[in-house]
Structure 1
Amino acid sequence: MEGDLCDVVIVGARCAGAPLGMLLAERGYAVEMVDRNPTGADTLSTHWIRWPGVQQLRKWGLLSALEKTGCPPIVRASLDFEGRVIAGGPQAGGAEAVTYAPRRTELDALLVAEARAKGARLRERFSVTHLIVVDGRVAGVRGAGPDGAVGLRARVVVGADGRNSTVARLAKSPVVEDRGILARSLYGYWSGVVEPGVRVVFRGRRGISLWPTHDGLTVVSLVFPPEEAPGPGRSALTEFYVSSLREVPEVEQALMNGELVSRPRSAAVRNARRHAHGPGWVLAGDAGHHKDPVSAQGISDAFADAGVLADALDAGLSGSARLDEALAGYAATRDAQRLAAFAYTCEQAELRPFGTDFLDDLTRTAGDTQATEAFLKTFVGCDAPSDAGWLGESH
């Protein structure tokens, strides 16, 4: 069975797909979102929304809604590089540069609710199996959900379905750069940890970060080289995670009264980017461009994609520009915004030891109020990073 023609089918209703559905629906387009999971299902993810992403939420009128979910504001940062500590409260425009690290169960549900409130439709537990192709152009999707097999016809299909994107695979979107898996990460949720802001600690070739999140919990992440993989089985993974955290005295102190209340989740992310569009289809978020979580840019990047792609689709669907040209413009903008960060993230994910010059520079920065403020502003994303990224010439 095939439904009526809509303007856009969005496959994936999370940090890229749901905001895109919201933005298109509020402009009057008929939008059908589909997702293989129910709304609010958890997913592997970094949690931090950097300053540019927070500004997107503010622009969309959703920041207060996020705060009402109980997500604690993050107003301080402490960055510890082999004992050299840069700490403080970054400012933006004379005010605190507040960021957030929400659970995806809360954030995704909020974004979907807003998209539906604007008029976008949603099919949950719907798995796409085929693309509908007419005269060489993608013209919809076929899949199955609780109501059985369904065909959804559309003028454009958006793949916003993550790094293992079904749309990218079915459209045969070519990989234009693949740097492989450069690091692994584990994270879990801890209760009883009192951390006033974000804390990041680098020791050797490991990085540890602590972020306050929903329900009074702290998400604690461990990044490490792939060759240090723990042994098989959940118990070995948990033992490796906890022992690695407690090997660092500063982290051991922070977790002293804490309790791990979840099994650690494991990720090994391939750093790769795909061609972003083709006849009748386009990719957004991790579906087209994903990188190691060490730089924590995924959520903010997904928001940015949604904003740029909404404008491109509006131009193409309204007739003010040719659709294919509008999608090509989106792809060019995406690459212009991402390529430097992609290269930087890959460099940082190699987790090479810090150089002596960098550590000496950090010591000087820590003693200079203005330099400290500039460093922290770059870390949270208030200022555009240098070519070396927010860690500076770190490796």
Structure 2
Amino acid sequence: MTARKKGTKEEPYDVVIVGARCAGAPLGMLLARRGYSVEIVDRNAAGADTLSTHWIRWPGVQRLRAWGLVTELEKTGCPPIVQACLDFEGRVLSGGPRAGGIEAATYAPRRTVLDALLVAEARASGARLRERFAVTGLIVTGGRVAGVRGVGPDGPADLHARVVVGADGRNSTVARLVESPAVEDRGILARSLYGYWSGIGEPGIRVVFRGRRGISLWPTHDGLTVVSLVFPPDQAPGRGPAALTEFYTSCLREVPEVGRALADADLVSPARAAAVRNARRRAHGPGWVLAGDAGHHKDPVSAQGISDAFADADGLADALDTGLSGAAGLDQALARHTATRDAHRLGTFAYTCEQAELRPFGADFLADLTRTAADEQAVEAFLNTFVGCDAPADAAWLGDSH
């Protein structure tokens, strides 16, 4: 480990992390807890809002619990979600997911709260943070990335490091600067609209698929519910904020079950749009590695992003510890980490792309759902897999749904 000097010339950081959200902030926390010198930089202020489905699936909640942060999240007023209702063309499965025989609570926090909480814990663990710091270039020595150059409120700065981590999202500056190639690119398969509603009062998650549209309701902070609409790119709304909101609200109210949930509710935010490419990049090279959406991003229809980012932070912290401590070669440790991560994600990536195409559900799948709905144990097993309590035998856990 490299200690920071207090003199005029400092030693390099062990790690500079670009991006202070759901991959970068917990990675900085985990490395700082192990005694490494870490600088996290972000072009925004900590806890700035961002488009997100918000949901943390059960594996992500378990990581928060291992990090000692579930209680802290609950203290922010984030409601635990213990009920789920899944509706596939009128075939409804509802109940309370359970893990090991106990209630499995998940959460859908506002990103303004979650990201700020993660950053605060990283700082408390010893990581440093530079907010509103835009990375403009890389420091390269002997063919290896050895730091970043950027500009912040205090002017330009060079930050030297043994490793640079790009945790700066699907439009990653680090990925662009190292010219990381795409290893798979399925393009934009769906579009999404999000809004915050007051007065819904749903006790849990509601997911509804009708035709070629998917609607999700997730209770979040301040008594609000984030409601997402996923639809094919060829169903483009009109131009301008008013047309966007009209398309969003009319699509929601066209579904009777959703319309009833929204009957006494108010949309308290503009509808916000997202269109996400489904793509994977080469995620490591000499002196650099990508984490979270920077290396692997997919449509939000499967709501995997936050939980995947947490998994990246955990696995990458172990790999960096192995390489930085000298237990193994750094490049070899990062190569093993990214290969393992990519292998684990391939099934989910393929499944997400399939679901994002929003093709009609097959008759056999709908018949299976009808049989499942009549069996209490089968319903619980289905819901457990949906929230991530039970690992599916196949990553495409909905089976041959189309």
Q: Please tell me the TM-score bracket, short chain as reference.
A: over 0.9
Distance in structure 1 (CA, Å) of the matches to 2:391 and 2:99: 13
Structure 2 residue runs of 5 or longer lacking an equivalent are: 1-7
3-state secondary structure, aligned to 1:210: strand
Provide the alpha-carbon RMSD of the alignment: 1.1
Q: 1:323 aligns with which of 325, 330, 337?
A: 330
Aligned length: 395
Q: Does 1:26 align with 2:8?
A: no
> 2:137 matched to which residue of 1?
130
Give 1:394 deviation, angstroms.
1.5
Q: Cα distance, 1:5 vs. partner? A: 0.9
Indicate the residue corresponding to 2:56 in structure 1. 49
Task: Write the deviation string for residues 317-374 of structure 1: whole angstroms up to 9, x where unpaired.
Answer: 0000000000001111211221110011001100000111111111110000111111
Asked if 1 retains the 8 angstrom alpha-carbon contact of 2:53 and 2:226, the reply is: no
Question: Does 2:107 align with 1:107?
Answer: no
Question: Structure 1 residue 393: deviation in Å?
Answer: 2.5
- Confirm or deny that 1:169 pairs with 2:176: yes
* CA 369–142 in structure 1, closer or farther in 2 if over 3 Å, else same: same
Query: What is the DSSP-based 3-state SS (H/G/I as helix, E as strand, rest coil) of the residue aligned with 2:260?
Result: helix
TM-score (structure 1 length as normaliser) = 0.99
1:299-314 alignment, distance < 5 Å:
299-314=306-321
The CA distance in 1 between the partners of 2:289 and 2:243, in whole Å, is 41
Q: Say whether 1:384 aligns with 2:366.
A: no
CA contact (8 A) 1:3 1:151 kept: no
In structure 2, do the counterparts of structure 1 residues 162 and 3 end up closer, same or farther at CA, with 3 Å as the change threshold? Answer: farther
Structure 1 unaligned residues grouped into runs of 5+? none
> Hey, what's the Cα distance between the residues in 1 that align with 2:385 and 2:141?
47
For residues 393 and 202 of structure 2, the distance between their equivalents in structure 1, rounded to whole angstroms, comes to 29
Cα deviation for residue 386 of structure 1 reads 3.9
- 2:186 aligned with 1:182: no
Identity of aligned residues (%): 80
Q: Separation in 2 of the partners of 1:164 and 1:3?
A: 31
1:81 lines up with 2:73 in the alignment: no
Deviation at 1:391, TM superposition (A): 2.7
1:270–1:2 CA distance, 2 compared to 1 (3 A): farther
Q: Distance in 1 between matches of 2:201 and 2:367?
A: 30
Partner of 1:337, secondary structure, is helix
8 Å CA contact 1:3–1:153 kept in 2: the answer is no
Taking the aligned partners of 1:224 and 1:62, their CA distance within structure 2 comes to 34
- In the alignment, the residues of structure 2 paired with residue 26 and residue 109 of structure 1 have an alpha-carbon distance, to the nearest angstrom, of 18
What SS is found at the alignment partner of 1:45? coil
Partner of 1:343: 350
- For residues 196-225 of structure 1, the C-alpha deviation after alignment (integer angstroms, 9 at most, x for no partner) is 100001100000010100000000000000
Write out aligned runs for 1:236-385 (5 A): 236-385=243-392
Tell me, what secondary structure is at the counterpart of 2:156?
strand
**Equivalent in 394, 397, 400 of residue 393 of structure 1:** 400
Equivalents in 2 of 1:41, 1:81: separation in Å? 34
Distance of 1:327 and 1:198 partners within structure 2? 37
> Quick one: distance in 2 between partners of 1:176 and 1:384?
26
1:388 Cα deviation from its structure 2 partner: 5.9
What one-letter code is carried by the residue in structure 1 that aligns with 2:160? R
Residue 13 (structure 1) aligns with: 20
Q: Please give the per-residue CA displacement for 1:222-271, whole angstroms capped at 9, x wherever unaligned.
A: 00000001011010000000000000111000001100000011000000
SS of the residue 1:302 aligns to: helix
One of 43, 63, 77 as aligned partner of 2:70: 63
Aligned counterparts of 2:130 and 2:340: Cα–Cα separation in 1: 30
